[in-house]
């Protein structure tokens, strides 16, 4: 499967507000680099070192708990 990623500057990474996460796995399914971990009905977490900042995980989230934050150096 060829996935075309947007051009990014890699200064931001995805972050999941765990208080709002319902564990639907929609963000996990669309992440092209598998940077989000978790299972169905459990809170998900982003592995910042793997996240490319492509933003593909934001729109599928039904609770809007995935946001972009500045990458910590």
Predicted confidence pLDDT, tens digits, the chain (73 residues): 566 655 556 789 999 999 999 999 999 999 999 999 999 999 999 999 999 999 999 999 999 999 999 988 6
User: Can you tell me the distance from the alpha carbon of 35 to that of 48, in angstroms, rounded to the nearest whole number?
Assistant: 7
**Within a domain: residue 1?**
no
Domain of 16, in residue numbers: 8-73
Grouping H, G, I as helix, E, B as strand and the rest as coil, residue 12 is strand
What is the CATH classification number for the domain harbouring 64? 3.30.70.20
Residues 46/13, Cβ–Cβ less than 8 Å: yes
Number of domains comprising the chain: 1
Cα pseudo-dihedral 72, 41, 32, 52, rounded to 10: -10
pTM for the predicted model, two decimal places: 0.82
């Amino acid at each position: 499967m060829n996935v075309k990623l947007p051009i990014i500057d890699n200064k931001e990474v995805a972050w999941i507000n765990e208080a709002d996460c319902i564990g639907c796995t929609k963000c996990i399914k669309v992440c092209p680099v598998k940077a989000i971990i978790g299972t169905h009905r459990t809170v998900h977490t982003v592995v910042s070192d793997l996240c490319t900042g492509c933003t593909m995980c934001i729109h599928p989230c039904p609770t809007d708990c995935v946001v972009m934050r500045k990458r910590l150096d």
